[in-house]
Structure 1
Amino acid sequence: MNATVQAYFDAFNKGDIEAMLACVSDDVAHHVNEGNIRIGKAAFAEFCAHMSRCYAENLTDMVIFEAQGGTRAAAEYTVNGTYLETDAGLPQATGQTYKIPAGSFFSLEDGKITRVTTRYNLSDWTAQVA
């Protein structure tokens, strides 16, 4: 298991954005499920702050896979969340809870995450909170 990826997810589950940022490179490429690729630690920090404002999430059932000598990794998990604040273009938030399967894919270099791609079923999430 990749220690950097584990530290990243541990920080996520604690809501510790600074610790998450410590795991990513300055030029991290963040591929979100819906939307444009964000490049750089500042853009990633902005995204994390937005997500923390709109969603309270905890990841369970985590399985981390590592390949290519630690330069690539993937994780499969369950997102257990509460929709806190309405996110633009999505249903109104009223504290709805949701549970969806998701996955993330990573590229790593020199102990830092250089790319993170996250995927989940948006229509499943929308049906749960609508």
Structure 2
Amino acid sequence: MDTKALIAAYFDAFNAAQTDRMLDLLHDEIEHHVNEGDIRKGRKLFAEFNAHMTECYRENLTDMVIFADESGDRAAAEYVVNGTYLKTDEGLPPASGQTYRLPAGSFFTIRDGKISRVTTYYNLGEWTRQIST
């Protein structure tokens, strides 16, 4: 599978809420760099993060554009997060089903045909503003 197809499959699995399918696309030594927080290393911590996110948020990514370098070792994606805040996440404002629409981006490293790093960025201040109004 080429790099762009790998990233597209990852996001297709995300949008389908099929986290097991997402895990299948990850290298065993995955590093997950989130916008706010510590780096999570390994598939187990990635799976725990996804379970937490599924409990607190329902999200669908649209307007996806995927980029890859010529070697296929690096990729990036720009998209819009369309979400609903389902359950209060620790340290964040209370959840009451608020919706949000937020531009975001992710960067990837590919190793052995699998995703070995995911780094995601979004504007937390804008997200907070949207769910607080």
Counterpart for residue 110 of structure 1: 112
Rounded to whole Å, the distance in 1 between the matches of 2:18 and 2:116 is 19
- Stretch of structure 1 that moved more, 63-72 or 114-123: 63-72
| Structure 2 residue 32 is the aligned partner of structure 1 residue 30 | yes
Question: How far did residue 104 of structure 1 move?
Answer: 0.1
Determine the structure 2 residue equivalent to 1:56: 58
| Equivalent-residue separation in structure 2 for 1:55 and 1:17 (angstroms) | 14
In 2: Cα distance, 1:68 partner to 1:106 partner: 14
| Structure-1 separation of matches of 2:104 and 2:60 | 12
Identity of aligned residues (%): 62
Equivalent AA in structure 2 for residue 48 of structure 1: N
Number of positions where the alignment pairs a residue of Structure 1 with one of Structure 2: 130
Could you say what secondary structure the match of 1:43 adopts?
A: helix
The one of 14, 17, 20 equivalent to 1:18 is 20
Show the counterpart of 1:42. Answer: 44
Any unmatched runs of 5+ in structure 1?
none
AA paired with 1:70?
G
Q: Does 1:96 align with 2:98?
A: yes
Q: Which runs of 4+ in 1 moved over 6 A?
A: none
Alignment TM-score, normalising by the size of structure 2: 0.96
For normalisation by structure 1, the TM-score amounts to 0.98
Matched residue type, 2:9: A
Runs (5+) with no aligned partner, structure 2: none
Q: Give the CA deviation at 1:68.
A: 3.8
How large is the Cα RMSD of the aligned pairs? 0.8
Give the CA deviation at 1:3: 1.3
